[in-house]
Amino acid sequence: MTLARDIASPASLKELSHLISNRDGRILFVCGATDFIIDLKIGHLSKPDLAVDISRLPELSFIESDTDCFRIGAATSFTRILQDAVLGRHFNCLVKAVEVIGSVQIRNRGTIGGNIATASPCGDTLPVLWCLDAEVSILGKDGQLRKAPIDEVILGDRQTCLGNGDLITEVKIPKLNNGSHLSAFQKVGRRGVMTISKLNLCAVVKYDESSNRIDAARVAAGSIGGIPLRLTSAEQILERRRVDRELIRDFVDHLPVMIDQAIPGRISRPYKRHAIKGLGEDVMHDLFAEKTGLQREDAVPA
Amino acid sequence: MTYIGTSLPISSGTPKASGSLAYTGDMKLDRMLHAKLLLSPHPHAKIKSIDTAKAAAVPGVIAIFSHENTPATYYNSALWIAEQDFVPDERLFSPVVRFVGDRVAAVVAADEATAEHAAALIEVDYEELPAVFDIEEAFAARNVSRDPETLPIYENPISDMTVEYGNTDEAFARAHLVVEDRVKTPKTHHCAIENHVCLAVAERDGSITVHTPCQSVFAVKFIVAKALSLPDDRIRVIKAPTGGSFGGKSEPVLEPLCAFFSRVTKRPVMLQLDRYGSIVSTRTRNAAVGRVKTAFDKDGKILARDIQAIGDAGAYRSGGNMVVGAMARRLGRLYKIGNQRFRGWSVYTNTPIGGAYRGYGSSQIHAITEINLEHAARRLGMDPVELRLKNLVEPFDDDPAGGPSVGNARIIECVKEGAEAFDWKNKRNRPRGDGRRKRGVGMSCATHGNGHFGAYPENAAATLSLRDDGGLHLVSPLHDLGCGTVTIMRQIVAEAVGASPEMVAVPEADTGTCAFDPGSRASRVTYIVGECAQEASLMLKAKILEVAALAFNSSPDDLTLKDNQIRSNYGGDRRMSLRELAGFARQRSPEDISVTHHFKPRANPGSYAACFVEVEVDTLTGLTRVMDVLAVHDIGQPINLTLAEGQVHGGIHMGIGYALLEDLDIDPDTGQTKGNSLSRYQVLNAPEMPRVQVLFVESKETTGPYGGKALGEVATVPMAPAIVNAVNHALGTELTELPLTPERVVAGLVEQDELDQA
Amino acid sequence: MKLDLNINGEDLEVDVSGSELLSDVLRSKLDLTGVKEGCREGECGACTVLMDDMAVNSCLVLAIQATGRRIVTVEGLAQQDALDKIQEAFVEHGAIQCGYCSPGMIMAAKALLLREPRPTRHAIRDALAGNLCRCTGYLNIIKAIEAALLPPRDREERL
């Protein structure tokens, strides 16, 4: 099947803007193509009049560290994100999410901008971007640049605020204070590796090591509804508390309640309300095991 | 022995590694056309009309086919001998579609993209009919003819069989303990990495040549002839390299279509399915539901067993009844059970068609019975290994169900050696853990056959010739599915003749040059075709030595043929190479150095295996990790050690999938296959494959080549029940519905919690 | 449209229609049928090629996206008639049965070698997560890759 009525591969943003500014018809941008090609085949996307390949644009593939934020080009591949050690030190949750997306082949091509534009409920970077207060820059068909917070970009299951010809150019993530912030991400699928998320969980906490206290928390779960779910009451359980076994138990025991509230009629609810406890435990362990010395409660001898 | 039991590298390794080997889909012929199928979106519907106008208008479209312009001849794709009388219910295209994925139409065009594009433009008007998807629901709707206007009558059950011996009821009456289980096994996809494909060429003389990665060139020939109402001799079938099959390419699914398209268009036609087509529109493993009741005395001796099993044939009959029959044939061959009753049915459902699949009934029946034994061990307070040892068959036991003797059955050794190597006792008695992750160990035994003897006609034929260059040429319809059949035959011939394997040529099956052979099925190739090849080799060797005797001026008994050379047993420097002998024979001897040997087996021993597994279950996410596997096999003599281990590794991979991951997963409302792509139908990948140790017990089955028995199917059979048993051991549950998906594990744990609290 | 592609070290001008996939162009237009097709959705890895030394699923690359990149298929590995050492190791160590996944596996292994000369077994398994095999159970494939990449003393006896 032909995937588009017409296709172009501009070599610069300027060329791209020029190309699309006067174009009629539906425009879709393609970069890693790992969702694009499949979505067209199965009908999640309908055939565009013009497909614009943005994989050759140097302006869209970068990772830059500014004073108070990181900026990641929309066409930056997952592999490239994983290779940036500085980025990784700041945002462990982002690294952990990207590490478990697909296979090496998929990560070499898939991009953060693509993950946002596809807006799949199972998109693994999305709950992370939610917790990190990411901001998305969008270049309009008319050449105007605008910015929007991530929760105003992703509106539902495969629904975004992007209009025809709107191109995501970069994602800005405010820096966390490295000394005081910890983050984690876990997912569960059908099998251990190379699997679509049935459920995922991200947590970012501001943690005072000297007093062993969580000052602030952001927690979001994905693959539950159309958009990541901020678990505000779970955040409240964590905030202003010391990290100990009781806290972990309170947090973990609360998660099923959130699932019950979020997807009361869903067939997958009995499973997800149970499995989220596992993710919750794993996230807490990833956040605090090193800092507090708290080990898992498993009593299985080696 | 020089070659038997070694690890000779697989013959076709280099062209496979370099990418130069042409599989069917890689072939390019002059004027070749491409066909794409339109598959049904409905589980059961009458086709009221088909409008092909838009499709036909697409440039490059050559022809469009549907029930309106193709033969209405019915056939049954499970047939492999021309005279077999299986009830035919399949045709090229039916006016009534019977499952989501059934064939509706085909476009033949200049290239694949055009054919696909045009197929999507065909407009079909359907009248939907009631459909049934669940096995037990289909079974309950017995003898209901759901579509009286089509032939044959579409009613359930397809088959109803009883196998019984001894006095089951009496034995149950005196039992110390009766343990009952209901086990469900899923409909699964073979998932060969090569999708289904066929290339048919209408030759100038009016005949048709079919290139296909099939498991029986003669089955293809018979079915194509039947479907197209052509005489047999107008069809030639050539086996192409196979990119995996596991039974999926055993039945001629695409070949009759492709042959017809080529015949009508008078051009070569390539029909390649995509993954969706391969999953839903070819064949699947028969799903099954089994109820088993086993009676024990107080020492754990099995007194009797009663099984009722229903197999899901899917929307067309294929060999559904044969799979159920195969389940029954295992019953008296693993454990000594004096009284047994099996009642088995095959039913139609409006779901993807069941067909041949590695294990063929053994996978289902062993899941049913071996899971039951784990539960029995628990209730008896016995170790599962001890329970097996109390009941397993011994060498040369008779089969009380009337089958052939079990032959040199070494399953007891498998279990004993395996239990020791696995450190079973200690692992079984270890604490399972109170925490989130629980560990358990499980084991299972299994048996499978060696060919058809005792059930269906069984014979093999081989022609072995000495070539002028001193090489050997074996003509026997071989179908190497990737497992290394060709390599095995080269080793057997080389060993028996006294040549080296690289001097032995073993072309694959071609109906144009080979005598009839049933093909690669029923685990018959090493055991029967191999034995035939070994006997033929010994006969050829005798002929060679007779001619050599003339050259050496001695008696054939005074000569030795080894490493391609003949020499005298009484010393002396004289050597004659096979090449020289061939030249000598050409000039001097009236004998053609060639034999044709027909072999009819008189035995069908069991191949046996025991599998020991350790798992770790995450009781929150429900994910099961297989940590460690030990498989012990009784296959007599492995012919090629690396290839044999490879079979076991692959069989374990498939067994893990069967136990934990794989299920076509039919939507109970729409009949759609939910697992219709590889992102949804997940097979085990490299990170998840556990450590595996493979042992072969030392023994010989004298009726097999160099003492060898079959391995390919038994390699997978015990794995799934062993895993289920390990999970149930870890969790203290009695889960019996495969696959043990995370959802099922969690549901089982939640239920167990609720019961504990009640 | 005409695309300038660099395939197996050769600069080629290939006639491509619009949104044609790289895997289709390699197989149909350039006769590089070592690039296999198993799923067309990036799950099986049979179509794996190198793009600028990185493993990618060619079924998920538009041909137009391959311009300006170095594409290497399995056919580009062997030097004259000599197999690459990964290919040789596959043949020797039982890593090949039906062979259909082998080109993709070999390319994934090659990409691993190029970025990590001495990978751990865990890294090897991970590098192969996107390459499915139904015949071998992966164990001999892992063994072969270790044989090709590591000196003998670093390999464990038992898989």
Query: Model confidence over A278-299: pLDDT tens digits?
Result: 999 999 999 999 888 887 765 3
What crossing angle do the helices spanning B742-757 and B719-731 adopt, rounded to 10°? 30
| Burial readout A41-72 (b: 16 or more C-beta within 10 A, e: otherwise) | beeebeebebbbbbbbbeebbebeeeeebbbb
Asked whether the beta carbons of B497 and B566 are under 8 A apart, the reply is no
Q: Give mean pLDDT, residues B659-685.
A: 97
Quick check: B741 and A190 CB within 8 A? yes
Query: Model confidence over B441-494: pLDDT tens digits?
Result: 999 999 999 999 999 999 999 999 999 999 999 999 999 999 999 999 999 999
Task: Identify whether A224 is part of a domain.
Answer: yes
Which residues from chain A sit within 8 angstroms of residue C19, using beta carbons? 2-4, 7, 51
Quick check: B650 and C137 CB within 8 A? yes
Query: Model confidence over A106-159: pLDDT tens digits?
Result: 999 999 999 999 999 999 999 999 999 999 999 999 999 999 999 999 999 999
Measured CA to CA, the distance from residue B676 to residue B687 in angstroms comes to 23
- What are the structural domain ranges in chain C? 2-76, 85-154
Q: What percent of chain B has pLDDT over 90?
A: 94
B284-450+603-757, CATH topology level: Aldehyde Oxidoreductase; domain 4 (3.30.365)
Query: Model confidence over B633-651: pLDDT tens digits?
Result: 999 999 999 999 999 999 9
Query: Model confidence over A221-257: pLDDT tens digits?
Result: 999 989 999 999 999 999 999 999 999 999 999 999 9
Whose tokens are 């048996």? That residue is B447
The yes/no answer on whether domain B13-129+196-272 falls in CATH 3.90.1170.50 is: yes
Which residues from chain A sit within 8 angstroms of residue B673, using beta carbons? none
Quick check: A298 and B435 CB within 8 A? yes
**Residue A1: pLDDT over 70:** no
Which residues from chain C sit within 8 angstroms of residue A60, using beta carbons? none
Q: Give mean pLDDT, residues B149-169.
A: 84
Measured CA to CA, the distance from residue B19 to residue C34 in angstroms comes to 4
Task: Identify whether A11 is part of a domain.
Answer: no
Domain C85-154 classification at class level: mainly alpha
pLDDT value of residue C152: 55
**Residue B331: pLDDT over 80:** yes
**Residue A302: pLDDT over 50:** no
Closest-approach residue (CA) in chain B for A267? B743
Q: pTM to 2 decimals?
A: 0.97
Strand-pair category, A159-160 with A154-156? antiparallel
At residue B146 the predicted structure's pLDDT band, cuts being 50, 70 and 90, is low
pLDDT value of residue A178: 67
The boundaries of every CATH 3.90.1170.50 domain in chain B are: 13-129+196-272
**Residue B154: pLDDT over 70:** no
Whose tokens are 């391969």? That residue is B278
User: Dihedrals φ, ψ of B401, to 5°?
Assistant: -80, 0
Query: Model confidence over A160-183: pLDDT tens digits?
Result: 999 999 999 999 999 997 678 999
pLDDT value of residue B151: 52
* Residue to substitute from C4, C5, C62, C138, interface A, most A β-carbons within 10 A: C62
Measured CA to CA, the distance from residue B182 to residue B735 in angstroms comes to 10
Task: Identify whether A34 is part of a domain.
Answer: no
Q: What percent of chain B has pLDDT over 70?
A: 98
At residue C153 the predicted structure's pLDDT band, cuts being 50, 70 and 90, is low
Largest CA distance in chain A: 68
Architecture of the domain delimited by C2-76: Roll (3.10)
**Residue C159: pLDDT over 90:** no
- Domain containing A211 equals 181-291
Give the up-direction half-sphere exposure of residue B316: CA atoms within 13 A in the CB hemisphere: 31
pLDDT value of residue A300: 38
* CATH of range B460-599; options 3.30.360.10, 3.90.1260.10, 3.30.70.100, 3.30.365.10: 3.30.365.10
At residue A191 the predicted structure's pLDDT band, cuts being 50, 70 and 90, is confident
pLDDT value of residue B144: 60
Q: Which of A188, A274, A299 sits opposite B434 (nearest CB)?
A: A299
pLDDT value of residue A42: 87
Measured CA to CA, the distance from residue B745 to residue B659 in angstroms comes to 12
pLDDT value of residue B692: 98
β-partners of residue B691 are B628
Quick check: B649 and C129 CB within 8 A? no
Query: Prior bond to B431 cis, omega within 30?
Result: no
* Residue to substitute from B6, B16, B662, interface C, most C β-carbons within 10 A: B16
Asked whether the beta carbons of C36 and B195 are under 8 A apart, the reply is no
Q: Is B426 on the interface with A (CB under 8 A)?
A: no
The boundaries of every CATH 3.30.365.10 domain in chain B are: 284-450+603-757, 460-599
Measured CA to CA, the distance from residue B279 to residue B273 in angstroms comes to 9
Structurally, chain A folds into a number of domains equal to 1
**Residue B432: pLDDT over 90:** no
Domain harbouring A241, CATH code = 3.30.390.50
Question: Which residue type occupies B346?
Answer: S
Task: Identify whether A118 is part of a domain.
Answer: no
Q: Is A43 on the interface with B (CB under 8 A)?
A: no
| Burial readout B158-170 (b: 16 or more C-beta within 10 A, e: otherwise) | bbebebebbebee
**Residue C158: pLDDT over 50:** no
Q: Give mean pLDDT, residues B280-309.
A: 98
